[in-house]
Amino acid sequence: MAQERKIGDVILRVDDISLSFGGVKALSNISFDVKEHEVRAIIGPNGAGKSSMLNVINGFYHPQEGTITYLGNTRRQMKPHEAARQGIARTFQNIALFKGMSTLDNIMTGRNTMMKKGLFWQALNLGPARKEEMEHRQAVERIIEFLEIEHIRKTPVGRLPYGLQKRVELGRALAAEPSLLLLDEPMAGMNIEEKEDMCRFVLDVNDEFGTTIVLIEHDMGVVMDISDRVVVLDYGCKLADGTPDEVRSNKEVIDAYLGVSHD
Amino acid sequence: MLFLAETVISGLMAGVMYALVALGFVLIFKASGIFNFAQGVMCLFAALALFDFISPGGFMDRWFGFYLPIWLGVIATMGVMIILAWMIERFVLRFLVNQDAIILFMATIGLAYFLEGAGDIMFGSDVKPLDIGIPQGAVDFLLDDYGLYIEKLEIVAAVTATVLVIVLAIFFQKTRVGRALRAVADDHQAALSVGISLHSIWVVVWSVAGIVALVAGIMWGSKSGVQFSLSLIALKALPVLILGGFTSVPGAIIGGLIIGVGEKLAEVYVGPFVGGAIENWFAYVLALVFLVFRPQGLFGEKIIERV
Amino acid sequence: MFYRESGQFKTSYQTDQAIFPIAQDRWFVYAILAIAVFVVPFYIDDYWANAIFLPFLIYALAAMGLNILTGYCGQLSLGTGGFMAVGAYATYKLMTMFPEMNFILIILLSGGITAMVGILFGIPSLRIKGFYLAVATLAAQFFLVWLFNKVGWFYNYSASGQISATRMVMFGFQITGPEAAPAVKYLFCLGFVLVFGLIAKNIARGRIGRAWMAIRDMDIAAEIIGIKPLDAKLGAFAVSSFYIGMSGSLYFAVWLGAAEVGEAFGISQSFLILFIVIIGGLGTVLGSFLGAAFMVLMPILLKNFMVDGLSIMAVTAKHVEIMLMGTMIIIFLIVEPHGFARLWQITKEKLRLWPFPH
C-alpha cells in the first residue's frame, strides 16, 4: 500500500553536512534527499548522529559545513522557529511536552504560529480572537479524535503514561499541519500494542494528509515495514542509502549492525 | 597613581568580603540546588551570636554573669551555626525535598525573615562593635614607605579568606564527606543510589555555609559594627553569582574581586558625575554587561543543549 | 451534594472554554461580585479601606502582573518594587504636567510607560534563565529606586524628595487626596482590578498565554514548534509590567497619597508581591486574589492578636511579627507548595464527590 502513493519531487535535500561540538565530530559530509509524500527512515547504532541530523534539519543545531535545501530555499542555518513557520514539525526522543498544560492546550500550541489575532482582541476575548480560537479548537479536536485521545483532553500531560504522551506529542506536531514531519524514535519504549497503534498513526498521517515523514527508529521490523527509503548512519558518516531491501542486503550495514571481526 | 592603587586595593579587599558571602551561596547551591537567600542574614546572625558570647554586656554576660574568651566564643558560635543548620534541615528542607527551585527559594526568604526577627528579639537591634582583637588602623610600613593607606583589618580578611578557601578545597577533595558532597552536587539521584544520605549531606553543607557566614560576619562586623545592614551585603554579593556562576567556587572568588574593584573604581571615578550612591546597582550592571559577552559566566562551560 | 456538574452539558467549544464552566462556580462568583459592588461600599470606612480593601485590591493587581511573568511565562523577577515605582512616578509626573488629564488615562499611560521599562529590563531574559535572571532583575530594582531618589526631575525637586498625589476628580467624585471618600477610592480600584482581572484571564487562556506557558514548561521545545522566545518573553515582561505599573500608580495616588521611593518601593515590596503570587498559586489569576487577601490580613491579625490579645509591646511585636511571617510562609510552603489556588481546587473536587467520597 505504501507503494501505491504517488511519491513526488525532492522537497528536502541536505548536502555535505558536517557538524561538530568542540573537537567531536557528530556528522561528517552527510548528503541525502527526501521526496514529497515519502516515509524516509534514518537508522543507525546509538551515537551515530541520527538525532543530530534532525536537529540540523529543523535549525536547532547549526552545521559548520554544508547546506540544506528545503522547498527550493538553500541555507546553512536558521532559527528553529523559522523552520517551524516553514512547515517543519517534529517530535522528540525524550518527550518534550509542556508538562503543566493540558493535552488540549499542548496541541493548541502547535497551531500558535497560525493564529494571528493580537493582544488587544485577545484581551477582550471578543469578535475576531474568539472566532479564531474556536476555528483552531475545531481543527485540534479533529486531531484529538484521529489519535483517539478524547478522554485525556483536559488532563495535564505530566500525569499521562509514556505511551499517551508520545501520542500527544505527535498530535502537537500534526496540529501545525506540517509539510515535513520529523519523528525522533516515535516508538521507543513502547510495548507491541502501542507500537502497532503508533505505526498505524504514522501511516495514516502519511496517507491521509500526504505529509512527508522523516523518522528515526531502532525497531528494524518497523522501519522495513513502513518506510519507502532508508538512510543508514554510523559514527556520523553515511553508510548506505536506498530502499529497505537494498539496505538490508548491504554488506557494510550488516557489518555495522552485527559487528564484524576485522582480521 | 597612588590614589588609583589605593582604590584598587581597597576594592580588592571589599571583593574578598563579597567573595566570602558568595562562597556561602555557592556551597549550598551546588549541593542542593537551593538559592539560599538567608545567607546574608546568617552572617548577621552569626556575628550577633559571637558578639553575645564574647562581649561584656552581651547576652551571656547579662544572663550568666560571665563571657567567653574570643577563641571559645568562636567555637561556640560555630556550634550555634551547626545547630542552626541541623534545625533548618530537620524542620524546613526535609519537608521540601523535590519541590520546585522557586519554592525552596521562597522558603529561604521565609527563613531570612525568621532569623531577622529572631536575631532582633534575642540580641537587640542596636549597632554592636565587634572586637575580636583584629588590629585596627593602617599597615604602618606601607603608609610610611610608600604612602599607601591600607587597613590591617583588610589584610587580615584577605589572609583569612585565602586560608578558608584552602581548607575548604582540602575538605572537598580529600575527605570522605567532601567526596560525598561532590557526588551530590553532580547528581542527586545517582548519589542517593550509592548510599549517600541526602539529609546528613545537607546538614554538613549548611553547617559549612554557616561557618563561612560566621567568617564573613566577623570581618564585616569588625569593620563597621554588627547591625542589620549586615544582612544586606547578601544583596551585594548576588551580582558575583551572575558573574562567577552559581556553582563555581573559583567563580565566586574571582567574581567577588572583580565586582569589588569595579565597584570601587566606579564609585570614585563615575559616581560623582551621576549624583553618587551608585554602589547599590553598579555591580549588577557590571555583571549584566559582562553576561552579554560571555553568557556562560566566568568559568562556566558552553552548554550544549540537547533535545 | 449540591456542587455537581452532572446535567450540565456543553454543546459548544465556546461554553467549554468559559472561565467558569461549572454553573455553581459562576453563581458563587456572581454573588461575591454583587457583595463587592453593592454591599461593601455602603459599609466601608477609612480604616477598612486603607488597611484592608485598598491594599488587597492593589496588591492583587500587582500580583496578577507578576503572575503573568513568573507564573505563566516562568521568568522569575525580583524587580516588582522597582516597576511599581515607575508606575507611581509616571503618574506623579503626568498629574503635575497635565493636571487636566483624565485620571484613568493617566493610570493607563503609567502602565504603558512601565511596560516599556519592563521590556528594557527584560532583555537579559533572552540570554539567561532561572535564578540568574532573578538576580539580574534586582538590577532593575536597585537602579530604578536609585534613579527616582537621585534625579530631582522625577519628584519635581521637592525638598523632602517625596511625591504627593494631586487632587483628581472624576464624574464629580474626588478620587485622590485625604478628603476622598473611602467608598469612592475602593470602587475605583475595584473597577480596575475586575476589568484587568478579566483581561488577564482572557490573555492567559488564549494563544499568547499558551505561548508563555510553553516557554515556561520547556523553552527549547517551544521554540522548535515555532514560538519566538523574543516575542513571548518580552511580551510577558511588557504585559506584566503594565499591570505592575498600574498597581504602583494606584498604590501611590489612591492609597498612600504620598510616597518616598526607598520606603514605598524597596526590595521588601518585591518580595511581598512574590509571596502573594506563590502563596496564592503560580499561574492562576484566582491565586493572585487569594494570596493578596492572605498577605494583607495575616499581619493585621498577628498584630492585633499580639498587641491587644497578649499586650506585647508594639516594638517587640514588630519583631515577632516578622519572625512569625517567616514561619507562616515556610509552613505554608510545606503544607501546600502550590498555593491557595490548588487548595481551592482540591476542595472543589472533594465537594463534587461529597457525601460519597469514593
Which pLDDT score, from 0 to 100, does residue C14 have? 67
B202 compared with C312, residue with greater pLDDT: B202
Measured between CB atoms, which of A81, A98, A123 is closest to C228?
Answer: A81
Q: Does residue A2 register a pLDDT over 50?
A: no
DSSP 8-state class, residue B296: T
What tens digit of pLDDT does each residue of B268-305 get?
A: 887 777 766 777 788 888 888 877 777 666 776 665 66
Task: Calculate mean pLDDT across residues C59-67.
Answer: 95
Task: Calculate mean pLDDT across residues A109-133.
Answer: 80
B229 compared with A150, residue with greater pLDDT: A150
Distance CA B151, CA A252 (A): 74
What tens digit of pLDDT does each residue of C205-244 get?
A: 888 999 999 999 888 888 888 888 888 999 999 999 999 9
Burial environment of residue B305 by CB neighbours within 10 A (0 to 12, 13 to 18, 19 or more): exposed
Q: Which long-range contacts (CB under 8 A, 24 or more apart) does B164-173 make?
A: B164/B20, B164/B23, B164/B212, B164/B215, B165/B23, B165/B249, B165/B253, B168/B23, B168/B27, B168/B208, B168/B212, B168/B249, B169/B249, B171/B208
Chain-wide mean pLDDT for chain A?
Answer: 86
Which pLDDT score, from 0 to 100, does residue A1 have? 43
Grade residue B235 by pLDDT with cuts at 50, 70 and 90: confident
Which pLDDT score, from 0 to 100, does residue C109 have? 95
Residues of chain A contacting C218 with CB distance shorter than 8 Å: 96-99
Residues of chain C contacting A105 with CB distance shorter than 8 Å: 210, 213
Q: Which of A72-81, A253-262, B20-29 has the highest mean pLDDT?
A: B20-29
C171 compared with C16, residue with greater pLDDT: C171
Which pLDDT score, from 0 to 100, does residue B304 have? 61
Task: Calculate mean pLDDT across residues A184-195.
Answer: 87
Provide the grid cell at B237.
554579593
Residues of chain B contacting C328 with CB distance shorter than 8 Å: 110
DSSP 8-state class, residue C48: I
- Dihedrals φ, ψ of B232, to 5°? -85, -15
Q: Does residue B1 register a pLDDT over 80?
A: no
Which pLDDT score, from 0 to 100, does residue C88 have? 95
Domains parsed from chain A with CATH numbers: 1-87+178-263 (3.40.50.300), 99-176 (no CATH)
A258 compared with A224, residue with greater pLDDT: A224
Asked whether the beta carbons of residue C150 and residue B280 sit closer than 8 angstroms, the reply is no
Which pLDDT score, from 0 to 100, does residue C3 have? 60
Q: Does residue C246 register a pLDDT over 70?
A: yes
DSSP element (H, E) containing B230:
none
| Sign of the Cα pseudo-torsion (B218, B219, B222, B228, in order) | negative
Grade residue A240 by pLDDT with cuts at 50, 70 and 90: confident
Contact A12, A33 (CB under 8 A): yes
Contact A133, A105 (CB under 8 A): no
Provide the grid cell at A155.
488532563
Task: Calculate mean pLDDT across residues C271-295.
Answer: 90
Q: Are strands C173-174 and A229-234 parallel, antiparallel or unpaired?
A: unpaired
Chain-wide mean pLDDT for chain B?
Answer: 81
Chains touching chain C through at least 3 C-beta pairs below 8 angstroms are: A, B
Q: Which of residues 56-115 of A touch C (CB under 8 A)?
A: 58, 60, 79-81, 83-85, 89-90, 92, 96-101, 105, 108-110, 112-113, 115
| E strand map for chain A | 10-21, 24-35, 39-43, 65-70, 73-75, 88-90, 180-184, 212-216, 229-234, 237-242
Residues of chain C contacting A97 with CB distance shorter than 8 Å: 217-218, 221
B132 compared with B302, residue with greater pLDDT: B132
Q: How distant is the Cα of C230 from the closest Cα of chain A, in angstroms?
A: 11
Q: Hey, is C259 helix, strand or coil?
A: strand
Which pLDDT score, from 0 to 100, does residue C355 have? 67
User: Is A258's Cβ below 8 Å from some Cβ in C?
Assistant: no
Chains touching chain A through at least 3 C-beta pairs below 8 angstroms are: B, C
Q: Determine the residue of chain B that is closest to A20 in CA distance.
A: B304
Residues of chain B contacting A21 with CB distance shorter than 8 Å: 304
Distance CA A220, CA A217 (A): 7
Measured between CB atoms, which of A90, A92, A99 is closest to C217?
Answer: A99
Q: Which of A65-69, A91-95, C352-356 has the lowest mean pLDDT?
A: C352-356
Q: Are strands A88-90 and A73-75 parallel, antiparallel or unpaired?
A: unpaired
Residues of chain A contacting B305 with CB distance shorter than 8 Å: 60
Residues of chain A contacting B304 with CB distance shorter than 8 Å: 21
Nearest C-alpha neighbor of B96 from the set C329, C337, C76: C337
> How many Cβ pairs closer than 8 A exist between chain A and C?
98
Domains parsed from chain B with CATH numbers: 2-293 (1.10.3470)
Which pLDDT score, from 0 to 100, does residue B302 have? 60
- State ipTM: 0.86
Grade residue A112 by pLDDT with cuts at 50, 70 and 90: confident
Asked whether the beta carbons of residue A129 and residue C13 sit closer than 8 angstroms, the reply is no
Which pLDDT score, from 0 to 100, does residue C73 have? 92
Q: Choose the mutation target among B44, B100, B114 for the interface with C, i.e. most C CBs under 10 Å.
A: B114
Q: Does residue C84 register a pLDDT over 90?
A: yes
Which pLDDT score, from 0 to 100, does residue B186 have? 74
Provide the grid cell at C207.
494563544
Q: Does residue A193 register a pLDDT over 50?
A: yes
What tens digit of pLDDT does each residue of C17-54 get?
A: 666 767 777 888 888 888 888 888 888 888 888 888 99
Burial environment of residue C313 by CB neighbours within 10 A (0 to 12, 13 to 18, 19 or more): exposed
Using a pLDDT cut of 90, give the percent of chain B over it: 4
User: Is A139's Cβ below 8 Å from some Cβ in C?
Assistant: no
Q: Does residue B135 register a pLDDT over 80?
A: no
Q: What is the CA radius of gyration of chain C?
A: 21
Q: Determine the residue of chain B that is closest to A95 in CA distance.
A: B307
